[in-house]
Amino acid sequence: MSKTTDRFNEENATYTVRGSDAPDLEAGVAAIRNVLATLPARPGVYRMLDAKGDALYVGKARALKARVTNYTQVTRLPRRLQRMVSQTRGMTIVTTNTEAEALLLEAQLIKRFRPPYNVLLRDDKSFPFILLREDHAFPRAQLHRGARRAKGQYYGPFAGAGAVRKTLTALQKLFLLRSCTDSFFANRSRPCLLYQIKRCSAPCVDRIDAAAYGDLVADAKAFLQGKSTQVQRRLGEQMSAAAEAMDFELAAVLRDRLKALTYIQGSQAINAEGVGDADVFAMACKSGSMCIQAFFIRGGQNWGHRSFFPQHTADVPEVEVLTSFLMQFYEEVPPAKLILLDRTLDEEGLVAEALAEKAGRKVELRVPQRGDQRRLLAQATRNAVEALDRRLAESTTQGKLLQEVADLFELDAVPNRIEVYDNSHIMGTNMVGAMIVAGPEGYRKSAYRKFNIKGANVAPGDDFAMMREVLERRFTRLEAEDPDRASGEWPDLLLIDGGKGQVSAVYKVMEELGVHDVPIVGISKGPDRNAGREHFHLPDGRESMLPLNSPVLFFLQRLRDEAHRFAIGTHRAKRAKAFTASPLDDVPGIGPARKKALLMHFGTAKAVRGAALEDLAKVPGVSAAMARAVYDHFHPGG
């Protein structure tokens, strides 16, 4: 649980009440009424739980008792919430000090539990930032994702890694900041190629001193903060001074940097001048689907845009979808000072208060009516409509392909979840299995799974045994976690990369597991392994081929190739990790710090293995007990 949730739990009351397990609407209402008697009339967050204790819905309330009472008046609820109440068998309540705290906690719990009746922001990608490190005399500019623990200045978010790399390239051209790692920096004896092409000032070999490099870093910070005009003026003054001093070589360098800055200003500031720091959100709705387009503007510079397609939005008002989206979005990203929206929220003041509490400063929500901000919002709206049209067109095409797949393999219905399996190894080493998932919306990358093959009875390179282990682990767990098949995690089709032998082995495994109703299809390349002449194999021995120009063939090839790509990537990652593995990794209680201390003292893991107990105890940071543990690990019974 995160620190924010811990804070709420420490300061406020948390409790759970369970009702009966009868699967009907009356039982759900009864379970809710059992909770009502204990509810206070204060702000908080409630979780609706099903019979297994899983979260169905997370909601917040200004007054818990009044809000939860509404769920007992089922005739006034939309059908979506009636279904939710019919599945409810208990509730968990967390009280908070304010409604703003409740709104923040609600978003956090939705992100954590992903309840099926909440609007969900489904996005597997984290947002990248630019990090200017401050723990080195010559700071490095680098792309950063994830927790912001490193000491330095963070600039972002950017819409994607491409926007970050473009800006990093600009920083290299304009300010000659280093991009190399600290270890690379420390071991240079002469400038690298980036110095030769005027994209680095080569502080690694003292071509620039710390003070001058610090001036470059200050200019880079000003540029990232949107003060590019100030930087442009300073570069112009320096160029003029160099020309007057007859230092034409320096003047030419400054001229090139000035040209690069002018170009970047023109390319990044399109429709964003005068906006400052802002996030822009516009929504498009069509045919029951929604798209939210986000633009990221920092210092008047456009740092990219991204399309989002929230899920579970049926029968949910548009402003409610947008509110839920914003709170979940800002769980990962610090709120901008200004948030531009294409519509007014019902709880605009509360959302602004909650985001301000999270950011530690004022956050303004605005629906612009004229000027640059309105033009920028119109651009975001146009992008949202176009992205939604593309999505719907792709969904229609995908739906037709899935229907043809169902017809080809005589499935009972159009498959909603296709699981594709493949194995990867090199002569039996670093064996891995991989599963990818696809459906009407395309690839579901959050559902991808990798399997490290670890069965003692799997002979190196035995593809049949590898596939057996993968499927046994996958479906044994699935049967234990979801025997009623209510989660939507059960596949409608298994696509196996292999021929009739592999299909026969898979069919046998599934029969042994008692899974008799999941269709299995193998896909193998034809003679000479030519793509386009694939054979499709069914468990009953039937085989088929498709015409070379068949869209269904291309679709199934893409699924097979995606599974192959994921399996090879997983294998390579495992192999790379094995290259850097050390015998010290297996010693209980040895972490990175002690491992480093031992290697620094003895030089190699082999020397550590052969060291005497007395010598191990002399290593800085290694206690007598830890020295004994290391010695005993390498000398069992000694």
- Cα of 110 vs its chain's centroid, Å: 16
What are the distances in angstroms from CA 5 to CA 11, 98, 110, 385, 452?
Answer: 10, 14, 12, 37, 34
pLDDT at position 356, please? 93
Average of pLDDT values for 150-154?
Answer: 84
* % of the chain with per-residue pLDDT over 70: 86
Residues 324 and 213 occupy one common structural domain: no
Among the ranges given (278-292, 333-347, 595-609), the one the predictor scored with the smallest mean pLDDT? 595-609
Alpha-carbon gap, residue 198 to 208, rounded angstroms? 13
The answer to the question of residue 614 being in a domain is yes
Q: Please say if the pLDDT value at position 476 is more than 80.
A: yes
Q: Mean pLDDT across the stretch 109-134?
A: 83
Q: Is residue 576 part of a domain?
A: no
Same domain, 93 and 38: yes
* d(C-alpha 473, C-alpha 604), whole Å: 38
- pLDDT at residue number 7: 41
Q: Is the pLDDT of residue 311 over 50?
A: yes
Q: Specify the range with the lowest mean pLDDT, choosing from 127-136, 191-200, 237-246, 422-431.
A: 422-431
State the pLDDT confidence band at 576, using cuts at 50, 70 and 90. Answer: low
At residue 604, does pLDDT exceed 80? no
Q: Is residue 177 part of a domain?
A: yes
Last residue of a domain, which of 244, 268, 292? Answer: 268
Give the residue with greater pLDDT, 93 vs 123: 93
Same-domain check for residues 264 and 210: yes
Residue 341's nearest CA partner among 288, 291, 293 is 293
What is the DSSP track for 366-385? E---SHHHHHHHHHHHHHHH
Same domain as 141, residue 253: yes
Say yes or no: 96 and 144 in one domain.
no
Residues 264 and 283 in one domain: no
Q: For residue 573, is pLDDT > 70?
A: yes
Q: What is the pLDDT of residue 468?
A: 86
Say if CB 216 and CB 138 are below 8 A apart: no
Evaluate if residue 5 carries a pLDDT over 50.
Answer: no
Q: Is residue 573 part of a domain?
A: no
Same domain for 531 and 504, yes or no, is yes
- The answer to whether position 451 is within a domain reads yes
Same domain for 612 and 530: no
Q: How confident is the model at residue 12 (pLDDT cuts 50, 70, 90)?
A: low
Instruction: Please check whether residue 136 lies inside any domain of the structure.
Output: yes
Query: Which residue from 474, 482, 468 is spatially nearest to 449, judged by alpha carbons?
Result: 474
Q: pLDDT band for position 633 (50/70/90)?
A: confident
pLDDT, one tens digit per residue, over 500-510 is 888 888 898 88
Query: How many domains does the chain fold into?
Result: 5
Q: How far is CA 162 from CA 69, 128, 250, 319, in A?
A: 49, 10, 31, 31
Quick check: 557 pLDDT over 60? yes
In a domain, 273, yes or no: no
Indicate the residue among 89, 113, 137 that finishes a domain.
Answer: 113
Domain that holds residue 80: 3-113
Residue 40 shares a structural domain with residue 101 = yes
Across residues 366-378, what is the average pLDDT?
88
pLDDT band at 574 (very low <50, low <70, confident <90, very high): low
The per-residue pLDDT of the chain, averaged, comes to 82
Q: Per-residue pLDDT averaged across 588-614, rounded? A: 78
Between CA 606 and CA 629 the distance in angstroms is 16
Backbone angles phi, psi at 539, to 5 degrees: -60, -25
CATH code where residue 593 lies: 1.10.150.20
Residue 6 is predicted with a pLDDT of: 42
308 and 262 both lie in a single domain: no
Across 76-94, average pLDDT:
90
Model confidence band, residue 3 (pLDDT cutoffs 50, 70, 90): very low
pLDDT above 50: residue 166: yes
Q: Residues with Cβ < 8 Å from 141, sequence gap 6 or more?
A: 130, 131, 132, 168, 171, 172, 177, 178, 179, 220
Query: What would the mean pLDDT of 182-201 be, rounded to a whole number?
Result: 84
Would you state the pLDDT for residue 8? 44
Overall average pLDDT of the 188-213 stretch:
86
Q: Tell whether the model's pLDDT for residue 376 goes beyond 90.
A: no
Instruction: Assign 456 a pLDDT band (cuts: 50, 70, 90).
Output: low
User: Among the three residues 567, 594, 611, which one is the final residue of a domain in this structure?
Assistant: 567
Contact between 301 and 174 under an 8 Å Cβ cutoff? The reply is no
Which pLDDT belongs to residue 342? 92
- Of 303 and 115, which is predicted with more confidence? 115
Band (581; pLDDT cuts 50, 70, 90): low
> CA-CA distances (angstroms) from residue 600 to 182, 497, 511, 596, 603?
18, 47, 55, 6, 5
Q: Say which residue, 111 or 237, is predicted with more confidence.
A: 111
- If asked whether residues 263 and 145 sit together in one domain, one would say yes
Together in a domain, 463 and 493: yes
Judged against a pLDDT cut of 60, whether residue 202 lies above it is answered with: yes
CATH number of the structural domain spanning residue 554:
3.30.420.340
Q: Which DSSP letter does residue 120 get? A: B
In this structure, what CATH number is given to the domain that contains residue 341?
3.30.420
Task: State the pLDDT at residue 21.
Answer: 44
Q: Does a structural domain hold residue 577? A: no
